[in-house]
Amino acid sequence: MRYRSLLTAAGALAATVLAVPAPASAAPFLCWASDDQIYAEAAGVQGNPGDLLACREVKLDGVSNPPGHKAWKVRYVSTDAKGAKIAVTGTVAVPTAAWTKGGSRPTVAFNPGTLGSGPQCAFSKQVSGQYQDMYEGDNIATFLKAGHAIAATDGVGYIKGKTHTYVNGLNAGHALLDGVRASRQIPGGSLKADGKVGISGYSEGGHASLWGAQLAKSYAPEVNVVGAAAGGVPGDLRITAKALNGSLFAGFLADALIGLNAQYPEMPFTELMNDAGRQAVKDVNSNCLLGTLAVFLGARVENFTTAKLTLDQLYAVKGPGGVSWGEIVDRQKVGVGIGPAGSGARYEIGFPVFQYRGWLEEIIPHETEDATRDAFCKAGINTTWKNTYMSEHLSTDWAAAQDVTTFLNDLFEGKTVKGDC
């Protein structure tokens, strides 16, 4: 009995030591981290982008009828929009059946659609059973059934004490690519460094997907990205915000404004707020998707500041160094400074891109979705476009899932994909 007790104590000690998120770049030996350790506050993060800090094996209870697989919650190093090292969380899932289509198993770098901005809304929590209002379990199942591994980032800001930096392009692209790097460091894992990678996301995830595509060459040149799929993309946040303000979907605008403030706290924000504005920040952090939409139903941004500032007036507000909120919003625009491989563009994209939207889209203006596709075509990017799904915003995510999987699978198998610009 004493020997058994000693073994038990030793095991518990080892679990504690090995699971604690490491401040340096050394990966954990075992995936024994607790949820508290995965989502713990982070200060002074060290290591290289993509370094695995902690992991925990989980079941994907939020995925219906998946094939056999193993899955983990992960915590890893990434880089924010200002170049600081940060801790980001996510999910990795790998089918147990062998990949038989040549080469190493490919990975889909997946960014979920909007789930809410508080830590409780993280995709990795919801997909593993802590359900709030997650809706993309079937998308994950579709990829797994095709034999693809999944590296699904939560995005930046889902750890304790933080707010999600909603639709921040650099943060989103970095977190996506670093999630792939981390997926290859799981103790006993089977993913190889030469495995092909496809990027995928819808709505907020579509914005992130295209930012991941734009950043792939410069930020993660060793990651073999072969294609990106992005749907329902809010490519221009000014156009999107104008449509959302006062609409049934104003909650997304609240997420965006508060998410940008989370990344740029030095900018004027809190001091502009009236009592309703201060309550709005609390509401965004305490609700997930449906709760946020309900709280902000029909809300107008003018009603949350003491000076009744319009969106255009908010854009003109300047912070340190004379930088305006409008400049920060414009930094998030997709399709600026892009070009094909070898073009010398700021963001070279040397692989095919699939963009899509629903014919009955009612949340993201057609104007910006179509313009994003046009920007990629004009830049010479191999782009395929589909806007014939007879579905509105949310259901297009599901309607296009098989097309997205087929598009990426063709690229994983080395097939030529020609765009239709």
Residue 299 to residues 37, 243, 253, 286, 294: CA-CA distances in angstroms?
37, 12, 9, 17, 10
Number of Cβ within a 10 Å radius of residue 415: 9
Residue 242: which pLDDT band, with cuts at 50, 70 and 90? very high
Residue 417 token pair: 């994909």
**What is the C-alpha separation between 171 and 331, in angstroms, rounded?**
12
Q: What is the pLDDT of residue 26?
A: 65
Residue 217: which pLDDT band, with cuts at 50, 70 and 90? very high
3: pLDDT strictly greater than 50: no
Please answer whether residues 113 and 290 qualify as being in contact, where contact means their C-beta atoms are separated by less than 8 angstroms.
no
Q: What is the pLDDT of residue 19?
A: 39
377: pLDDT strictly greater than 90: yes
- Which residues on adjacent β-strands are paired with residue 56? 32, 73
Tell me the per-residue pLDDT of 168-186, one tens digit each, with 9 for 90 and over. Answer: 999 999 999 999 999 999 9
Interacting residues of 324 by C-beta distance below 8 A, sequence separation 6+: 315, 316, 317, 318
Residue 22: which pLDDT band, with cuts at 50, 70 and 90? very low
Reference 394, options 364, 373, 365; nearest CA is 364
**What is the C-alpha separation between 181 and 408, in angstroms, rounded?**
19
345: pLDDT strictly greater than 70: yes
Share of the chain above pLDDT 90, in %: 90
Mean pLDDT of the chain: 93
pTM recorded for the entire structure: 0.93
**What is the C-alpha separation between 91 and 152, in angstroms, rounded?**
5
Give the sign of the dihedral formed by CA 115, CA 119, CA 123, CA 126.
negative
Q: What is the pLDDT of residue 18?
A: 37
Mean pLDDT in residue range 387-416:
97
24: pLDDT strictly greater than 70: no
1: pLDDT strictly greater than 90: no
**What is the C-alpha separation between 58 and 71, in angstroms, rounded?**
6
Q: What is the pLDDT of residue 304?
A: 98
Mean pLDDT in residue range 46-59:
97
Q: What is the pLDDT of residue 28?
A: 87
Residue 347 token pair: 């963001």
Residue 131: which pLDDT band, with cuts at 50, 70 and 90? confident
Mean pLDDT in residue range 113-126:
95
- Alpha helices (H) in 146-221, listed in sequence order: 169-183, 204-219
Secondary structure class of 137 (helix, strand, coil): helix
Q: What is the pLDDT of residue 132?
A: 80
Greater confidence, 7 or 284?
A: 284
Tell me the per-residue pLDDT of 189-198, one tens digit each, with 9 for 90 and over. Answer: 999 999 999 9
15: pLDDT strictly greater than 70: no
Mean pLDDT in residue range 72-82:
98
Reference 282, options 117, 114, 168, 133; nearest CA is 117
Share of the chain above pLDDT 70, in %: 94
359: pLDDT strictly greater than 70: yes
51: pLDDT strictly greater than 80: yes
Residue ranges and CATH numbers for the domains of the chain are 238-330 (1.10.260.130)
Residue 142 token pair: 């579709």
